[in-house]
A and B are shown apart, each in its own frame.
Chain A
C-alpha cells in the first residue's frame, strides 16, 4: 500500500537535502577552504621565499594541505545528523543505506573536494609552479579528493559521536591516505620533469574505482555499528 520513491529519486532527494543543508551552513564550506589557503601560505614563511625550494616542495605542500583540509571537514559529515536523529532515519529508509550514504559522500566532495580543486591553481602560482605542474596538480586533486572523501567517510562513521573524534579520525585515516599522497605528488613531479604521468594517474584512478565500490557499503555498515 505504500508507494515509495525509487532508488534514484530518493538518492537525488538526499543529495538535494545535503546541498541545501551545506548552503544553510555556508561557513562549514569556507572554513576548510580558508584552512587550505592558510596552511599553504605558511610554508614560504617557514621555508623561505626562494622559488627553487618552493617549486620542489609545492606538490607535497598542496597535497598535505588538501589531506588536512578534508580531515577538518569530515567531522561534521555525520555528527550534526547524529544529534537531531536524522542519521537513524537514514538507516531506516526502504532503500539500501549504502546508496544514500553515497549521496552524502558526493555532497561532501562537492562542498569540500571540488572547492580545493578550483582554488588550487591560485596556490600553485603562489608557490611558483610551472604550468604543467599546475595542470597536473588540479588533475590529481580532481581524481584524489573523492578518494579522500570516501575513505574519510568510513573514519567519520567509525568515530561517530566519540569524544576527541576529530583527532582520532586523523590517526585512523591519514595512514590510509598515503598511497594517494605518494602517487599524486609523484605524478606532479614526473609531469613537471617531462616524464609521462600516465602510470600514476591510472593507479590513482584504480584506487578511486575500488573505494567508490566498497567505501559506501563499509560506511553504512560502520554507521550501523556506531548507532547500535
Chain B
C-alpha cells in the first residue's frame, strides 16, 4: 500500500525534501499574518486589557504540546505494530519541539497569570496538567537517550509513549477534580469566557502557523537523522542529497 512505500527512508527522504520549502514559506507567512493580526488589529480585552495578546502564544503552544504528544504516541503504536523504523525517526524528531512548546506554554501561562491572579505560578488545573505533560516529554527523552541500542530505544520509548497517552486523560481528570476541591472560588478560565471573533481569528491563524512550523522542523530533523543513519547506503550517494 502507498503508506508502506513512503515508510522507507529511500522514498521518504526526497519527498520530505520537496515538501520542506513549501511548509517553510507557508509557516513564515502564517506566523507573520498571525503576529500582525494579534498585535496590531485585535482590540484589547475589556477585562484583561493588552495582556490578552499573550493568549495568541500561550493557547496555540498548549494545543501544540498535546497535539505533538498524541502524534508521537500514534507513530509509536504504528511503529510497534508494523515495525517501521521511520516512526522512531519521526518520534525523536518531534520530541524536542514538543517539549519546547510545553515549556513555552508554561512560561507564557505564568506571564499571563501574574496580572490576572497576582502570582507567577498558580496550581490551575490546566497549567498543572501542562507541567505533568512536560515531565512525560522529559521522561521519554531521557529514556530514549539512556538506551544505546537503537532498536531497544525506539521500542522502549514507544511503550512509554503509549502508557503516557493512555494515562494523560486520567491525570488531567484527577488534576481537574483536585483543582476544584482545593479552590472553591471559580478561577477565570485561562482562555477567557466567550472569545470575540477579532480574538479568535489570530488565535486560529497562530495555531495553523505553529503546526506548519512544527512540520517544517520535523522534516528537517528527519532528513538530517536519515543522513546520519543511512550515510553509507548507495541510494544516498546516487541522489547526491
A34 within 8 A of B: no
B167 within 8 A of A: yes
Task: Identify the A interface with B (CB < 8 A).
Answer: 154, 158-159, 162-165, 168, 171-172, 174-176, 178-179, 182-183, 186, 207, 218, 221-222, 225-226, 228
The 7 closest A-B pairs by CB, nearest first: A179-B174, A182-B174, A225-B155, A172-B139, A175-B135, A182-B178, A162-B146
Contact with A along B116-147 (1 / 0, CB 8 A): 00000000000000001001101100110011
B78 within 8 A of A: no
Chain A residues positioned under 8 Å from B159 (CB to CB): 154, 158, 218, 221-222, 225
Chain A residues positioned under 8 Å from B164 (CB to CB): 175-176
B43 → chain A closest CB, angstroms? 40
Bound-state CA distance A51–B136 (Å) is 36
CB within 8 Å for A171 and B152 given contacts A164-B146, A218-B163: no
Chain B residues positioned under 8 Å from A207 (CB to CB): 170
Which A residue's beta carbon lies closest to that of B173?
A179
**Would A178 and B146 count as touching, CB distance under 8 A?**
no
Bound-state CA distance A226–B136 (Å) is 20
Contact with A along B49-73 (1 / 0, CB 8 A): 0000000000000000000000000
**Would B151 and A158 count as touching, CB distance under 8 A?**
no
B161 → chain A closest CB, angstroms? 11
B86 within 8 A of A: no
A-B contact pairs, 10 of them (CB 8 A): A154-B159, A158-B159, A171-B138, A174-B135, A178-B174, A179-B170, A186-B177, A218-B159, A225-B155, A228-B152
B175 within 8 A of A: yes
CB within 8 Å for A158 and B143 given contacts A171-B135, A186-B181, A225-B152: yes
**Would B171 and A186 count as touching, CB distance under 8 A?**
no
**Would B160 and A158 count as touching, CB distance under 8 A?**
yes
**Would A175 and B156 count as touching, CB distance under 8 A?**
no
Residue in A154, A165, A182 with the greatest tally of chain B CB atoms within 10 Å: A182
**Would A226 and B156 count as touching, CB distance under 8 A?**
yes
Chain B residues positioned under 8 Å from A171 (CB to CB): 135, 138-139, 142
**Would A159 and B178 count as touching, CB distance under 8 A?**
no
**Would B160 and A172 count as touching, CB distance under 8 A?**
yes
**Would A175 and B132 count as touching, CB distance under 8 A?**
yes
Bound-state CA distance A207–B147 (Å) is 30
A31 → chain B closest CB, angstroms? 24
Chain A residues positioned under 8 Å from B173 (CB to CB): 179
Bound-state CA distance A165–B143 (Å) is 9
A19 → chain B closest CB, angstroms? 28
- Residues facing A in B47-106 (CB within 8 A) are none
Bound-state CA distance A165–B138 (Å) is 15
Chain A residues positioned under 8 Å from B174 (CB to CB): 178-179, 182-183
Chain A residues positioned under 8 Å from B155 (CB to CB): 225, 228
Which B residue's beta carbon lies closest to that of A178?
B171
Of B132, B156, B181, the contact of A178 (CB 8 Å cutoff): B132
**Would B136 and A175 count as touching, CB distance under 8 A?**
yes
Chain A residues positioned under 8 Å from B151 (CB to CB): 228
Which B residue's beta carbon lies closest to that of A181?
B174
Of A162, A164, A175, A221, the contact of B139 (CB 8 Å cutoff): A175
Chain A residues positioned under 8 Å from B146 (CB to CB): 159, 162-165, 168
Bound-state CA distance A172–B146 (Å) is 12
**Would B143 and A172 count as touching, CB distance under 8 A?**
yes
**Would B136 and A154 count as touching, CB distance under 8 A?**
no
B139 → chain A closest CB, angstroms? 5
Chain A residues positioned under 8 Å from B170 (CB to CB): 179, 207
Which B residue's beta carbon lies closest to that of A221?
B159
**Would B143 and A178 count as touching, CB distance under 8 A?**
no
Which A residue's beta carbon lies closest to that of B179?
A182
Chain A residues positioned under 8 Å from B175 (CB to CB): 178, 182
